Structure 1
Amino acid sequence: MSKKIYLLLLVQLCLFMNSVFAESTVVIIDEQVRVNGAVISLGQVAKISGDDEAANQKLRKLKIGDAPVPGSSFVLTKEVLNMRLAATGIDLASVTWLIPDRITVIGDSQVISAQTLIDRGINAIREQVGPNVQYDDLHIFYVGREQDVTVPVGNVILSTSLPYGIRYNAPTTVMIFISVDGQAVTKVGLRFKVNLYRQVAVAASQVNAREIFTEGNLRYERMDAGQIAAGFFTDKNKVLGLEARRAITPGTVITDSMVNKPVIVKRGNMVTLVAFVGNIQVIASGQAMQDGYEGQLIRIKNVITNKIVLGKVIDENKVQVLTYKSASAS
């Protein structure tokens, strides 16, 4: 008899429990959960079920704290979770909670390898240099410590900038900005040693001061652009016909500070003065008061008026007048 009563009570209890779970929302949380994002929502860590789907969705959206950094974890106790749930203002009694005493919350993550970041930095430098430099003439070396970067799970986009440009005589910095699913996550600064090799004009033989450069005393040599003085020439045709300002030894890199345009108008030479008054061209005879090279402004004496004028050397016989001076020749 007692056995029958016990079975009857057990059946009634099961029916009662089934009715309770059927009517109320049930929240089940495992001992270990993984989350993604900056904030933990209840829906990320719990399995929520019940007949009232609107109530279920409301529970899933509840914010219960900050998420761990991607790749790290922390322990959330049942007591702390209950306090956070109570702070949201929901009716805890209307929900059946199946929560362990301790919950390990893990920040879901993915790893961007150091090599991926380095390759992106190298590509950024090559893009900045442009297509006019041959691939083998640009050498790029990473000079920092290789380190992977851990970020949240999602679609990763890497964008770059070179805040100080490319430096050939000092480390070049590339900033890599990392975003996941359109949200900025972090940025990484990488440093590279960049060598740019160019064919530069050098003296093929001894060049004396005031000597004119010709094909015979110039040649090309491949050099690291970061290790030579500024103002070098990559086209020796731009040096041909120029005059050496000083003696230059063989193998010396020719720079713009070493050369002058040759003097084509000598002091005392007679030249033709050309001036324009509106559309009218005025021509007169003049005498150079100083040496001048093509394009240089020099003083010229108008031999008719005996006035000093300032003009630009056009060629060895012609000077274009720019302004007049009232000073008389001494």
Structure 2
Amino acid sequence: MKSNLYRLTMVILCVAGIFFTGDKAAAQELTVAVAAESQVTGQYYTLGDIASISGGDGGRIAALREVRIGRVPAPGQSYVLNAEILGARLNMAPIDLTGIAWQIPSQFKITALSQSIGSAQLIAEAEKYLRNRLAGADVIITPMEQPTDIVLPPGNVVYNMEIPYGVKYNSPTYVTTGILVSGQPFTVVKFRFDVKKYEQVAVTGRMIAGGEILTADSVIFERRDIGKLKPGYFTNIDKIVGLTVKRQLAPGMLLTDTLLDQPTLVRRGNIVSIVAKNGGVVITTPGVAMENGSENEFIRVRNASSKKIITGRVVDENTIQIHF
């Protein structure tokens, strides 16, 4: 019991700052009353944040209020301190602690001010950003997880969002959200979304035989989830009309570039005109195609006069162009 009483007395003396002698033991001029509970914000809290300081010396009061005690807890969290801890921290401060009457509870609480952002709001903001990036597209966006609420320090909240890996239609799309409070970065959260994008794509409207040239009435357009489609699908009728089907296709089949080919304009053995151009000079001579060819395809032709075999580009069913 005596040991505890002695320890308590030493703590009070330490905090009161009366470990001094001689004429320093002057009459107490200031009073520092520490509150039982205090709310703080920022990075550090000071004596002025947790105590009221009164007396006749304005300069000393101002200096005492600025004495740094410790770091502010995380937003919404608390520290519980006592006189011993406060005394140790005050004695480390380069300030005169004489002539002060201290009023300190046996324990006192320091709580960081906070604000909370609900998970529903965070998801809504991220989804809004994603929809704006996909404006005009036919999409269905589904969150893949529900985050917890986020506790922040007080201040104006701003979101800084980006899609680091781009929008994915056959795997999760990530939206990262940097949260700034009063202009300062606080945290970054990441959300996953399942994004389904639909487009009107070309499919066969009937049975189409191999080698048949596609016409507008042989193609229809259907709304499909493009994340599930093979590459090379078509959304524009003008891109496929006039192309040749490589093999027989059943009704409702997705038309892709691997199923189609340019129609054959020139066939092996056809008589063609070989046109040679060099600047403003144009020379034309008859020739014979040595192989089949589509528009803009390069094939071998034989000059009917010189019998020389050369390579030229198919311009149309009658013309092969070369350069000299």
TM-score by length of 2: 0.84
Q: Which of the numbers 76, 84, 99 marks the counterpart of 2:81?
A: 76
Alpha-carbon separation, structure 2, partners of 1:96 and 1:281: 110
Q: Which of the numbers 87, 101, 109 marks the counterpart of 1:104?
A: 109
Alpha-carbon separation, structure 1, partners of 2:288 and 2:101: 109
Q: What residue is the counterpart of 2:92 in the other structure?
A: 87
Alpha-carbon separation, structure 2, partners of 1:67 and 1:311: 79
- Say which SS state the counterpart of residue 285 (structure 1) adopts: strand
Q: What residue is the counterpart of 2:309 in the other structure?
A: 308
- Verify: 1:65 aligned to 2:66, yes or no: no
Q: What residue is the counterpart of 2:41 in the other structure?
A: 36
| Structure 1 unaligned regions, length at least 5 | 1-18, 325-330
Name the CA shift for 1:78/1:260 in 2 (closer, same or farther; >3 Å). Answer: same
Q: What is the number of residues matched between the two proteins?
A: 299
More off after superposition, 212-221 vs 311-320: 311-320
| Structure 2 unaligned regions, length at least 5 | 1-25
Alpha-carbon separation, structure 2, partners of 1:308 and 1:58: 100
More helix per residue: 1 or 2?
A: 1
Alpha-carbon separation, structure 1, partners of 2:57 and 2:307: 109
Alpha-carbon separation, structure 2, partners of 1:44 and 1:53: 17
C-alpha displacement at 1:52, in angstroms? 4.7
Question: In percent, how many aligned pairs have the same letter?
Answer: 36
More off after superposition, 167-176 vs 307-316: 307-316
Q: How does 1:21-170 map to 2 (within 5 A)?
A: 24-129=29-134, 131-133=135-137, 137-170=138-171
- Say which SS state the counterpart of residue 65 (structure 1) adopts: strand
- Verify: 1:185 aligned to 2:182, yes or no: no
Name the CA shift for 1:97/1:298 in 2 (closer, same or farther; >3 Å). Answer: farther
- Say which SS state the counterpart of residue 150 (structure 1) adopts: strand
Alpha-carbon separation, structure 2, partners of 1:49 and 1:197: 71
C-alpha displacement at 1:221, in angstroms? 0.9
- Say which SS state the counterpart of residue 93 (structure 1) adopts: coil
Name the CA shift for 1:292/1:100 in 2 (closer, same or farther; >3 Å). Answer: same
C-alpha displacement at 1:156, in angstroms? 0.3
TM-score by length of 1: 0.83
Q: What residue is the counterpart of 2:236 in the other structure?
A: 235
C-alpha displacement at 1:184, in angstroms? 0.7
1:237 partner letter: D
- Say which SS state the counterpart of residue 126 (structure 1) adopts: helix
- Say which SS state the counterpart of residue 295 (structure 1) adopts: coil
C-alpha displacement at 1:186, in angstroms? 0.6
Name the CA shift for 1:264/1:91 in 2 (closer, same or farther; >3 Å). Answer: same
Name the CA shift for 1:293/1:73 in 2 (closer, same or farther; >3 Å). Answer: same
Name the CA shift for 1:86/1:263 in 2 (closer, same or farther; >3 Å). Answer: same
Instruction: Say whether the 8 Å CA contact 2:214–2:240 is kept in structure 1.
Output: yes
Q: How does 1:214-225 map to 2 (within 5 A)?
A: 214-225=215-226
Alpha-carbon separation, structure 1, partners of 2:62 and 2:313: 84
C-alpha displacement at 1:260, in angstroms? 0.9
- Say which SS state the counterpart of residue 127 (structure 2) adopts: helix
Q: What residue is the counterpart of 1:256 in the other structure?
A: 257
More off after superposition, 119-128 vs 147-156: 119-128
C-alpha displacement at 1:275, in angstroms? 3.2
Q: What residue is the counterpart of 1:299 in the other structure?
A: 300
- Say which SS state the counterpart of residue 258 (structure 2) adopts: helix
Alpha-carbon separation, structure 1, partners of 2:244 and 2:27: 103
Alpha-carbon separation, structure 2, partners of 1:89 and 1:187: 38
More off after superposition, 201-210 vs 119-128: 119-128
- Root-mean-square deviation (CA, aligned residues, Å) is 2.2
